[in-house]
Amino acid sequence: MDKISNQMPVNYYPSQKTTPNESAHIGTPISPQTPNLVVPPEQRMERLTEVYGEKRLKQMGYIECATCSSRSYVDGSNDPGVSFKTPTNISPEASFSAVSSHEQEHVSNEKASAQAENREVISQSVKLFSSVCPECGRVYASGGLTTTVTASKPSSENQSQPYRGNSAEKKGNLVDARV
C-alpha cells in the first residue's frame, strides 16, 4: 500500500502570499512594493486612459468619438422612394445593416420601375464601401452603390422563331398547306 503524503500540491501559477488579516482588507497594500489595487470612482476614467489610451477607449465606446457622432448619411440618388433623403446619424456598429437595407430599397425600386416600363432586368449588383474612422479607428460603412442593367423585353411577335427565307416574302412561321 502506498503512503499518502501530507505535502501541499505544487502551485504552477505563483501568487503573492498574504496573511488572513491582510487579505480581508480590500485596498490595503499587501506589501510596500505592491500598489493599491482599488481605484476610487472619481479616478477610474483617468486610470483607464493611462492604461489603455484614449483611442482604445473610444473604440470600446467608453469615450464618445466626435467624428463618429457627427457623421451623417444622405442619399445622393434621384430615387424619391428611399431612406436617407434627410441627413441621418448612424453609429459605426449599425452602419453596415443600415446602408445595406438602403441599397436593397434601390434594388427593389429599380426592379419595379423596369417592370413598369416593360423592361427586363439583366443584372443587379450592390457594392458597400467601408472606411476607418481616423479618430477612434472603428470600421464603418461609408456608402453604397447599386447598379442595375435592363434591356427592353422582346415583343410577342419577335418571341416566335425568326422567319428564315426571303425577306421580301414574309408570310409567318406557320406551314401553309391544302389538304
pLDDT tens digit sequence for 114-139: 999 999 999 999 999 999 999 888 89
What domain count does the chain have?
1
Q: Quick one: cell of 44? A: 477610474
Structural domain includes residue 162: no
Structural domain includes residue 169: no
Residue ranges of the chain with per-residue pLDDT less than 70: 1-36, 155-179
pLDDT value, residue 132: 94
pLDDT value, residue 145: 93
Structural domain includes residue 100: yes
Q: Which domain holds residue 123?
A: 66-157
What 3-state DSSP class applies to 108?
Answer: helix
Structural domain includes residue 3: no
How far CA 84 is from CA of 6, 65, 79, 175, in Å, comes to 74, 22, 11, 59
Structural domain includes residue 58: no
Q: What are phi and psi of 25, to 5 degrees?
A: -100, 105
Structural domain includes residue 2: no
Structural domain includes residue 70: yes
Structural domain includes residue 39: no
Within the chain, strands assigned E span 72-73, 88-89, 119-132, 139-152
pLDDT value, residue 9: 47
Amino acid at 46: E
Q: Quick one: cell of 47? A: 486610470
In contact, 102 and 21? CB cutoff 8 Å: no
pLDDT value, residue 15: 47
Close Cβ partners of 174 (under 8 Å, ≥ 6 residues apart): none
Q: pLDDT tens across 8-33, in order?
A: 444 444 444 444 444 444 554 455 55
